[in-house]
Amino acid sequence: MITGSVAYDCIETPEHSEDFILGGSASYAALAASFFTPARIVAVVGNDFKKSDVKRLVKRGVNLDNLAVNAELPTFLWRGKYHDNFNSRDTIDVQLNAFEGYNPILDDASKAAQYVLLGNISPEVQTAVLKAVKKPKFVVLDSMDLWINITRPALDALVKKCDLFILNDSEARLMTGEHNIINAGNRLRKSGSKSVIIKLGEYGSMLFHRDGFFTIPAYPVKQLYDPTGAGDSFAGALTGYIAKADKTDFSTIKKAMLYASATASITVESFSCYKLEKSGLKEIEKRVRKIREISKI
């Protein structure tokens, strides 16, 4: 079960721009998770959310029974602009819209979820969703700079309730004040979540776990189109893989990182979810083999 934003994105990269395309952390994450296990979204969209976008999620088997519609307001909107190297971006605009005053309602199937991804959205929504789940086995948490900056106490409280906290290097530095990423990861783990993954974009990702440290490179992408959603796809595929394995040990999380990295690399090769939604486990496994090959001596 995945919560997070279901959004319309307006994106500008050095080469292209597209407006009002399907995005949002829950959309990317659910599509990515759907390659491994049935995924369901708990979120809200607005009165402008297109039927064709509903179809894109449903086509991949994503369950939308708990996707509410706010008849008064439009869908969550995010406008982002990437710099020349694609590694940094500015949020030009973010409008919560349908999420204003959203009170998540979970049906019995969502309440019974064992594997939960609290995708990037306000800690208030993430906390309300987690509260409604009866007995989760494994909870993954994702966030971003906006929430770290404006809702830090709520996020800190949530981190303590989660099994795995995923964030990128700049967010880890922002949260800890540590420039050294190893120290930042260890500090985050000791002060909150049981395990922590720090993503390093094109340089891979690192896992800080009770049983040890692990790192993998990213899949070597040649055609980078739009990095939007890479982190959400990573989190979705990772949680989906763990749910499918029904195991949460160090070794399973390490394998899940390979699949997460491979899945995220598909997302960045197109705008929106265009390439991800058309992909499959075969392509993901091909990329997993490549990551294994380039990291073995």
Q: Is 9 in the site for ligand AMP (CB under 6 A)?
A: yes
Query: With contact defined as beta carbons under 8 Å apart, do 101 and 78 qualify?
Result: no
Q: Locate 292 and state its tokens.
A: 């294994």
Q: Is 25 in the site for ligand AMP (CB under 6 A)?
A: yes
Distance of closest approach, residue 263 Cβ to ligand AMP, in angstroms? 12
Binding mask 45-84 for ligand AMP (x = CB under 6 A): ---------------------------------x------
Q: Is 21 in the site for ligand AMP (CB under 6 A)?
A: no
Where in 96-135 is the site for ligand AMP (CB under 6 A)? 120-121
* Nearer to ligand AMP (CB atom), residue 3 or residue 245: 3
* d(C-alpha 150, C-alpha 217), whole Å: 32
**Quick one: which of 2, 13, 24, 118 contacts ligand AMP (CB under 6 A)?**
24
Task: Tell how far CA 34 is from the center of its chain.
Answer: 13
Q: 119, 141, 128: which is closest to 28 by C-alpha?
A: 119
Q: Is 230 in the site for ligand AMP (CB under 6 A)?
A: yes
Query: With contact defined as beta carbons under 8 Å apart, do 175 and 165 qualify?
Result: no
Q: Is 261 in the site for ligand AMP (CB under 6 A)?
A: no
Size of the site for ligand AMP (CB under 6 A): 17
* DSSP secondary structure letter of residue 217: P
Query: Given the rule CB under 6 A, which of 58-66, 176-184, 226-234, 249-257 is the region that contacts ligand AMP?
Result: 226-234
Which residues does 107 contact at the CB level (< 8 Å), separation at least 6? 65, 66
Query: Given the rule CB under 6 A, which of 181-189, 224-232, 245-253, 276-284 is the region that contacts ligand AMP?
Result: 224-232
Instruction: Tell the burial category of 215 from Cβ atoms under 10 Å away from its Cβ (0-12, 13-18, 19+).
Output: middle
Where in 79-98 is the site for ligand AMP (CB under 6 A)? 94
* Nearer to ligand AMP (CB atom), residue 7 or residue 207: 7
Whose tokens are 């990573």? That residue is: 234
- Return the exposure string of 232-251: e unless at least 16 CB atoms fall within 10 Å of the residue's CB, then b: bbbbbbbbbbbbbbeebeee
Query: Given the rule CB under 6 A, which of 1-9, 126-134, 241-249, 280-288 is the region that contacts ligand AMP?
Result: 1-9
At 120 the three-state DSSP class reads coil
* Nearer to ligand AMP (CB atom), residue 245 or residue 273: 273
Which residue has the CB atom at the shortest distance from ligand AMP?
Answer: 23
Distance of closest approach, residue 231 Cβ to ligand AMP, in angstroms? 3
Given the rule CB under 6 A, which residues bind ligand AMP?
A: 5, 7, 9, 23-25, 78, 94, 120-121, 144, 146, 228-232
